[in-house]
Amino acid sequence: MTHVDHNAVELSEKADILDVTALVDDYGWQPSDGAAALEEKLLQELNGLEKNTVRSVISADRQVGSITSELENG
């Protein structure tokens, strides 16, 4: 992953955390004993989904480049 891609992922993660924080504040949610563990699990799941999305975009970009090159040369 390039430096730019890494920064984009970090910004996306921060934006998602802010959105979740706003949602929790809107509902007046109060944490319980298992809340920290649940939060960690959800953040891990979100991180995994974001990584898969970034990988899919990069893979699609490579495929488009390859197809475009083949069309230009073919």
Considering only residues 4 and 44, tell me which one the structure prediction assigns the higher pLDDT: 44
| Sequence-distant contacts of 9-14: CB under 8 A, at least 24 apart | 9/50, 9/51, 9/54, 12/50, 13/46, 13/47, 13/50
Compute CA distances 31 → 26, 61, 65, whole Å.
14, 42, 48
- Mean pLDDT, to the nearest integer, of 6-23? 65
Residues 32-70 pLDDT 10s:
778 888 888 999 999 899 988 888 888 888 888 888 888
- Each domain of the chain, given as residue ranges in start order, spans 3-73
Residue 1 scores a pLDDT above 60: no
Residue 14, CA distances (Å) to 8, 18, 20, 48 in order = 10, 6, 10, 15
